[in-house]
Chains A and B, each alone.
Chain A
Amino acid sequence: IAGITQAPTSQILAAGRRMTLRCTQDMRHNAMYWYRQDLGLGLRLIHYSNTAGTTGKGEVPDGYSVSRANTDDFPLTLASAVPSQTSVYFCASSDSSRGPQHFGDGTRLSIL
Chain B
Amino acid sequence: SQQGEEDPQALSIQEGENATMNCSYKTSINNLQWYRQNSGRGLVHLILIRSNEREKHSGRLRVTLDTSKKSSSLLITASRAADTASYFCATNSGAGSYQLTFGKGTKLSVIP
Contact = CB atoms under 8 A, between A and B. Distances in A.
Interface of A: 4, 31, 33, 35, 40-45, 48, 50, 58-59, 90, 92, 94, 97-106
Q: Is the interface of B mostly helix, strand, loop or mixed?
A: loop
10 contacts: A4-B42, A33-B98, A40-B104, A42-B88, A43-B88, A58-B99, A59-B1, A97-B98, A105-B40, A106-B40
B97 A98 contact: yes
Nearest to B102: A43
B61 interface: no
Contact of A101 (B2, B45, B97, B104): B45
A98 B92 contact: yes
Given A31-B98, A90-B43, A105-B42, A98 B104 contact: no
A101 B100 contact: yes
B96 interface: yes
Q: Which of A35, A94, A100 has the most CB of B within 10 A?
A: A100
B41 interface: yes
Nearest to B96: A97
A110 B48 CA distance: 33
